[in-house]
Amino acid sequence: MIAKTSISKRLTDLKFPLEVLERYNELHRYYHTTEHLLQVMNSLEKNGTVSDELFLAAVYHDAVYDPKLNDNEERSAELFIEHSKTSGLSGDQKNKIKQYILDTKVHKASDPISQALITADLEILEQPLDKLITYENQILREYQFVDYKFYKPKRLEVLSSLNTNGKLDSLIAFVKQHKPMIAVFAGSFNPFHKGHYNVLKKAERIFDKVIIAFGKNPDKTDRTWPIPKQIQHHQQEEYTGLLTDFVDSLGYDVIVVRGLRNSTDFQYEQNQYRYIQELKPDIKIVNIFCDKEFEHISSSGIRTLREIWQTQKLLARVRHVRSPIFK
């Protein structure tokens, strides 16, 4: 079995930066991760010696992966060319590897080496149903920025295009019938800070997908802080008025998540829950406490600190304090 350390060593021997491997650890990746890269490498090794060209094409084929973009393979190929400047590869080798990476976009091989990479990359589609379902849930998380009512038909379209010889019939049937557990994490989030993120990560261990809903609270100031990059791959919605109306507007069942810092928050949320029940008796709400290290953080407190920093120029004095917001 190939390990990450052996990949690192071979990259170093070929004079390629190890930075490319760190890309597989990006927060928005759930399937296209280091584990997927290792699976591809092990699949290639099972079928014989892996040449330098095939090895590098495999390492770089998902080096750039952002599900919001449609040119990941092109960007991955460009990254490879940039990193190859310090290597001893010939121009012909570089061009071949670049083409192998591009071939993985449309799954059409330019030669037998390219076909080997494509086959290894799609090996997940040959797995039994339990592994296919795990794969499907990972893809759903990678595309969780897409509203599920749009994601589902598009995903079925993609699976149908890959369904040669009926091998994905069971997975397609699963996706058609499956109702993922989707939550709505609602709040004013002005700003969305590390305490909110702590609750979000806990919610993601419970639910298949978490929608972040920015509500406009008439008792609070308008949201003026930027949305942190840590949540840019989540579905984000804005709503005014009642949370119950927003939940109904989604068109599918969701569970509302509310973050709690302490018992005071719990008492407030309990009171709000009674009002919500009057409007929508069937609503389901899950309260999640943040970890102790975040319980002192509040959006209002952060806004107050910013005002002090701006008016009294105290920023230099508090640089030693760990920031509760994202940079």
Task: Please state the separation of Cα 51 from the chain's center in Å.
Answer: 32
Report the residue count for the chain.
Answer: 327
Q: Are 246 and 237 in contact (CB under 8 A)?
A: yes
Beta strands in 196-317 (DSSP E): 209-215, 236-239, 255-260, 285-289
Cβ atoms of 121 and 61 closer than 8 Å? yes
Average pLDDT, stretch 238-259? 92
Q: Are 30 and 136 in contact (CB under 8 A)?
A: no
Q: What's the pLDDT score for residue 36? A: 97
- Provide the pLDDT confidence category of residue 313 given band limits of 50, 70 and 90: low
pLDDT at 272: 78
The pLDDT-based confidence of 320 (bands split at 50, 70, 90) is low
- What is the band of 307 on the pLDDT scale with cuts at 50, 70, 90? low
Model confidence band, residue 199 (pLDDT cutoffs 50, 70, 90): very high
* pLDDT beyond 90 at 327: no
Our measurement of the distance from residue 130's CA atom to the centroid of its chain's CA atoms, rounded to an integer in Å, reads: 22
pTM of the model: 0.87
Residue 262's pLDDT is: 79
Residue 284 phi, psi (nearest 5): -115, 130
Q: Which two tokens stand for residue 166?
A: 């009926």
pLDDT of 277: 80
174, pLDDT greater than 80: yes
Predicted local distance difference test score (pLDDT) of residue 223: 65
DSSP label of 172: H
Average pLDDT of the segment spanning 126-141 = 97
